[in-house]
Structures are given as C-alpha cells and as structure tokens.
Amino acid sequence: MSKTPSPRKGVSTSIEKALDPFASALKRVTPARATPATPAKTGKPGLAVSPLAVPFPAIPPIAGVEIATARAGFYKHDRHDLTVFRFAEGTSCAGVFTRHQVGSAPVDWCRRHLESDNGGQDVRALVINAGCANAFTGKAGADAARRTASAAAKRFDCRQRDVMLASTGVIGVVLDDRKIAARMADIEAGLTADGWAAAGQAIMTTDTFPKGAFAEAKIEGVTVRIAGIAKGSGMIAPDMATMLAFIVTDADIHPNVLRALLNLHVRTTFNSVTVDGDTSTNDTCLLFATGASGAPRIGRVGDRRLADFSKALDAVMLDLAHQLVRDGEGATKFVKVTVENARSPGSARKLARSIADSPLVKTAIAGQDANWGRVVMAVGKTDEPVDRDRLSIRFGPHWAARDGAPASDYDEAKMSAYMKKPELEITVDVGSGRAAATVWTCDLTKGYIEINGDYRS
C-alpha cells in the first residue's frame, strides 16, 4: 500500500507536535464569494446544478502563477478538459496522495519526484487533465505521464521532474498524451493571472459547480495570498476521493514546511469528508508556494511567524472540502456529524465516519427522517468503546435519545420540521471518554444511482 510522503532527512519527525500551537487556534473562515456573472455549468451535460452549490469566489491574481485551459478532446462534448499552471522559478511544492493500492500513473509520478532528494524545491508547472484517470494502465500509462511532463518541460524550459501531473476520469484507459502536447502552444499563449474560475471549471467531471476558495494572511506584517480549486463529486472518502485539490500561495515557504502544514490540515479537512465511502485511485492535493509576495522565507517547521498563515490555509482547505460534500452526486442535504466524549481522537473519527458513511443513515436523511435507531446501529457496529447507558443523540438542537434511551421530551413535529432543512447537524455523545471529531457528509438519493449508472456513457 502506498503511503503519504514522510519527512526528508534533517526534518523533525514530530512535525505535527511542532505545529500544535497553530492547530489549536484554528478558526473556520468562509472566504467572501462573488455571484457568478453567467449561469453555472456542470461537468457533464444533463446534470442539474446541486441545490447545495455555492458561487465561485472572487480570486485575485496570486503573484508567481499563471493559468490557462483548453479543450484537448478527452470528452465528446465541447468543454475545456486541460488545465496548466506555470509557476515562477524557485516555487516550492508539497503533496499528499491517495493510499489506494491501485494508484494512478500521475500519482506515482508526483510522489516519486517530490520524495526525491531536493524534490519540490523548484516546481515550474502543473498539468491537469479531466476525462481520463490514467489509472490501472501499467507501463503504457507511466510512459504517457512521462511524455506529458516532457511536453510541458520543453514548452516552459524546465526539467521533467519539475512538472507535476494530475488526471481524473475513467479508470483503465491509457492517457492519449498527444492530445495534451498538441495544445501546449495554445496553452502558453493563453496563460493569465486571472485563470482561477476557468481552471475550476475545466477540472470537473461529474461535478455540478466549480469549487474555489481564497484567503489572506500576514507573515511578519506582509500580506500573503492563498487560493485553491478542487474537484470531486463521487468516489469521495479521501485517505491521505475522485478528489483533486490544488492550492497556491505567494508566500516563501520551504517544501518541508509546506509538507508539514499539508499533513496537519488534511486530517481535519479533506480526510474528514465523505460522499459515498469510496477512495479514488487518483486522490491528490498539491500545495505550491511561489515566494513572490516579498514576505520573509520560512524554512523551519514550528516557526511562530506561520501561525496566521496556517490558520488561513486551514480555512481554504476546509472550504474546498465542504464544497466536495455540497456537490456530492445527487445530494440534497449537507450534514455535519460530530462525535463527542469518545475514548480517543482516533476512536471519535472512526465513529463519526461510520455514521457519515452508513447508507441507512444517509437514506433516512434523504427521506427527512430522524431515524436515530440507524445512528445507534452505525455507532455500535464499529467495535469502538461506547457506553450504551450514556449514549445520547441530537439532531440540531433536538434530542432524540438521552442516556441510552429515547428522550423524554422528544417532539416529532419539531424534529420533522428540522429535517426539512438543507443543512443538518447530528451530534452523538458516546460517553466513553473526552475526545471529539467531526466529519461532513451528504444524503444518499436516487440521483447518486442515476449519475453512476451511466457514468461512462
């Protein structure tokens, strides 16, 4: 099984402990959003935009990065399906990737070069295609990935290893890299600092709206910007879904520090959402730092000057993760599941994921039914420590069960009214400790079956 990259030589193995002061101070921030000038498009014709969709935010230029999109032809219908980022010289990069045992060729490519000596210290380009995952394609897929990197490297006058790759789409089809090479001249001519919205659109597959987030932070009084886009709608249960996320900052941060920040925040953002419990072969989250803001360089994990930046990065990652759930295939409900008073943080996370992944819980939510018996089922099947006589369940402000029994003040009318809301909260007290965890999910509707039943058609 593939693993998340480990720290390089000379880097403390207790990275997360060094960043704990920042983690404990995190505040969830929702970036300001702009109303789209034109009606939203979906990644696949015929899909209705999710009722939980949010507008793409206003993202100003990020110094040191330009973006372009084009139609390479991986889809039959007329849409852009190729995205390229060009970065300033000296851009740092770090990534976390799927731990799926059948990783894709682009995942293997990025992991290998970011883990190598001095990897991630001068990344110059990122090439993303939608419509073909290039996963489960053997040597032919690996060769196609290498040729894609070579085409970009020649165009941007850099080494192949300094080009990152990402693909999304159908598994088991070798990437036709000739389609990408044929559009590189158009891509170079179209590079712009204002390409975030177009990029968010071009990386979509069954997504029904483009996903973006933006925040600012201070490093020694200098303002730095952080922007990101993501895609994902189904096959979402990241373990680092078909999830891709790309985040760029103009801060000047060493790759080892970027990796530490990414590993810290991915746990409570991308790894704390689930649509259907399925982990993709292509899950990738890449974080780039161009160093073009003029802020001082950060080269040490635990540097206190990172506190504000760490908080803003977490906000961007959480916002993108929430949007994945809001665009869950066929979703009509956005659901926050919190487990309290568990034996350990790991136990709390496992319990929350069991509830959030349960088809029975999710279909009950789709039917606007506060069936707390299904929540009890999802909790009990995990083998995690649970005190049955203290188990309590709440939907929003309304108690369904208290101390191992139906709540004496249960009000069916109030509960039914609450379950009609598009955004819901389920809180479960398992009474076995003091740890807590939160996972975000969506309901499971007939729409999920319809979308996946004709995915390849």
Per-residue model confidence as pLDDT tens digits over 372-384:
999 999 999 999 9
Domains of the chain: 15-326 (3.60.70.12), 334-453 (3.10.20.340)
Q: How far apart are CA 205 and CA 171, in angstroms?
A: 13
Q: Is the pLDDT of residue 257 over 90?
A: yes
Put residue 31 in one of left, alpha, beta given phi > 0 → left and psi -120 to 50 → alpha: beta
452 marked as binding residue:
yes
329 marked as binding residue:
yes
Cβ burial of 281 (10 Å; 0-12, 13-18, 19+) is buried
Per-residue model confidence as pLDDT tens digits over 160-207:
999 999 999 888 999 999 999 999 999 999 999 999 999 999 999 889
* 41 contacts: CB under 8 Å, gap ≥ 6: 79, 201
263 marked as binding residue:
no
* 16 contacts: CB under 8 Å, gap ≥ 6: 23, 260, 263, 264
How many separate helices (H) and strands (E) can be counted in the chain? 14, 15
Whole-number Cα distances in Å, 236 to 206, 279, 321, 326? 12, 6, 10, 12
Q: How far apart are CA 245 and CA 96, in angstroms?
A: 10
Quickly list DSSP for 206-259. Answer: S-SS-EEEEEEEEETTEEEEEEEEEE-SSS--------EEEEEE-S-B-HHHHH
Confirm whether 242 is a catalytic residue: yes
Percent of all residues in the chain with a pLDDT value above 70, rounded to a whole number: 85
Task: Identify the active-site residue in 242, 290, 338, 445.
Answer: 242
Q: How far apart are CA 406 and CA 403, in angstroms?
A: 8
Per-residue model confidence as pLDDT tens digits over 290-339:
999 999 999 999 999 999 999 999 999 999 999 999 998 889 999 999 99
Q: What average pLDDT does this structure show over 41-58?
A: 84
457 marked as binding residue:
yes
